[in-house]
């Protein structure tokens, strides 16, 4: 199995299926669900790369449907800030310890889950300047570059801007896709993906694309890739 332990591959596939199911029902949160399990079996850099890859599919389809509703006057500050933040986030993967990134992502997941559950009544920033949007874009780019979870902050910020649900969706989804694209380019340039699970991620596509209400999928034919030696990621 390309040097990947059966237990790790099982966790990887189950997490991918669960994340795809949640994303299909709610329209978002693929990365949040997947990261919670993937970080236990693959490195943070590989987790970020895989979230970016799958996120491009999930969010890319949604953005294509929203293409006529895009407001570039609202989008450009986020995109400009994100373009500056992504390189910083990718650089974090070069020097941060895997254990530190796992802990940081865990805190982020718990914090965002509590926010989504409690929905605290925060003050709206309806008249916030474009510079504030660019700041959120920068932080989102840094977060996306280091964890692949670049869509969290734009989602929260668009709600605090007091925009309608449709207007929010027409901003945070394109911003997330743009950050995914920029992160993918930077990760590719840095050659961050080294774990066999990321090179064997094709195995998760049947789980990712399958509708849970459909019958069993057709036979999925694959060809095994080169065998490599698996070395567990240190949880320092």
pLDDT in tens, 8-24: 888 888 988 888 787 76
Residue 11 maps to a domain: no
Query: Does the pLDDT of residue 25 top 50, yes or no?
Result: yes
Residue 1 maps to a domain: no
Please say whether the beta carbons of 212 and 21 come within 8 A. Answer: yes
Query: Does the pLDDT of residue 210 top 80, yes or no?
Result: no
Query: Does the pLDDT of residue 219 top 70, yes or no?
Result: no
Distance CA 117, CA 166 (A): 21
> How do residues 113-165 score in pLDDT, each as one tens digit?
888 788 777 888 989 999 999 999 999 999 999 888 888 899 899 989 999 98
For the CA atoms of 211, 213, 219, 225, the dihedral, rounded to the nearest 10 degrees, stands at: 40
For the CA atoms of 40, 44, 49, 55, the dihedral, rounded to the nearest 10 degrees, stands at: 60
Mean pLDDT of 188-194: 62
Question: What's this model's pTM, rounded to 2 decimal places?
Answer: 0.72
Residue 39 maps to a domain: no
Residue 216 maps to a domain: no
Largest Cα–Cα distance in the chain?
Answer: 56
Distance CA 215, CA 194 (A): 35
Residue 65 maps to a domain: yes
pLDDT of residue 218: 41
> For 187, how many CA atoms within 13 A lie in the half-sphere containing its CB?
29
Residue 35 maps to a domain: no
Mean pLDDT of 178-188: 89
Mean pLDDT of 171-178: 91
Question: Which structural domain range is residue 164 located in?
Answer: 44-193
Distance CA 17, CA 110 (A): 21
Element of type H or E holding 81 = helix 72-95
Q: How many domains does the chain have?
A: 1
């Amino acid at each position: 199995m390309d040097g990947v332990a059966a237990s790790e591959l099982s966790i990887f596939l189950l997490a991918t299926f669960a994340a795809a199911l949640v994303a299909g029902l709610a329209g978002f949160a693929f990365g949040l669900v997947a990261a919670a399990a993937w970080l236990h079996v693959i490195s943070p850099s590989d987790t970020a790369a895989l979230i970016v890859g799958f996120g491009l599919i999930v969010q890319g389809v949604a953005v294509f449907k929203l293409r006529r509703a895009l407001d570039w006057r609202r989008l450009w500050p986020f995109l400009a800030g994100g373009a500056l933040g992504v390189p910083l986030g990718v650089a974090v993967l070069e020097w941060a310890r895997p254990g530190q990134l796992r802990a940081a992502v865990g805190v982020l997941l718990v914090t965002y889950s509590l926010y989504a559950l409690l929905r605290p009544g925060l003050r709206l920033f309806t008249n916030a300047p474009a510079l504030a949007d660019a700041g959120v874009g920068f932080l989102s780019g840094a977060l996306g570059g280091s964890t692949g979870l670049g869509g969290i902050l734009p989602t929260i910020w668009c709600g605090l801007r007091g925009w309608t649900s449709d207007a929010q969706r027409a901003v945070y989804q394109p911003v997330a896709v743009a950050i995914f694209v920029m992160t993918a380019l930077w990760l590719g340039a840095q050659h961050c993906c080294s774990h066999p699970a990321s090179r064997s991620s094709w195995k998760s596509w049947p789980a990712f694309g399958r509708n849970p209400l459909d019958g069993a999928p057709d036979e999925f034919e694959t060809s095994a890739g080169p065998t490599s030696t698996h070395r567990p990621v240190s949880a320092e």
